[in-house]
Amino acid sequence: MTTSERASAQQDKDTLIGVVGEMATSMTGAQSTRHWASDALWFDIVPFASRGIAPAQKLFDDTFATFESCTVEILDLDATVNGDMGIVCTVQRTALVLKDGSSRQVISRQTDCFERREHGWELIHQHASVPAGGAWDGTITTV
């Protein structure tokens, strides 16, 4: 890989990391899906899956309407770009305050898959999950 190709790949990674950061701080369905492809496939933490933007926007808006505040901290991030495909994997801690005054923290994993299309990078698949089977501190085990 040439120096120019490495620089271009790093720019693409930085762009995708910025998009994921923007999605993490959004509080409306429109903001959350601003970079989604019209045919995006989404698997969410709640037992919900959708294809396309409209069902995801509605679920985001309905969910965000119950929040007084929502703060997301990205604990771990790994991004890779290969040509016109990019993947960003994160571990996120979300601090929620609901409108009823209750609060909770959730650690989740999210994988965002992007494809470079005619109008730039678009999210084509997102999968978020909360690990089952007990408490998890977000630590990633490596070799």
In this structure, are residues 109 and 93 in contact, taking their beta carbons and an 8 Å threshold?
Answer: no
State which residues form the domain around 7. Answer: 3-129
The CA radius of gyration of the chain, in Å to the nearest whole number, is 16
At 101, which CATH number? 3.10.450.50
In the chain, how many domains are there? 1
Residues 29-88 pLDDT 10s = 999 999 999 999 999 887 788 999 999 999 999 999 999 999 999 999 999 999 999 999
Q: What is the pLDDT of residue 118?
A: 93
In this structure, are residues 31 and 53 in contact, taking their beta carbons and an 8 Å threshold?
Answer: no
In a domain, 140, yes or no: no
In a domain, 68, yes or no: yes
Beta-strand pair 120-129/36-43: parallel
Whole-model pTM: value is 0.89
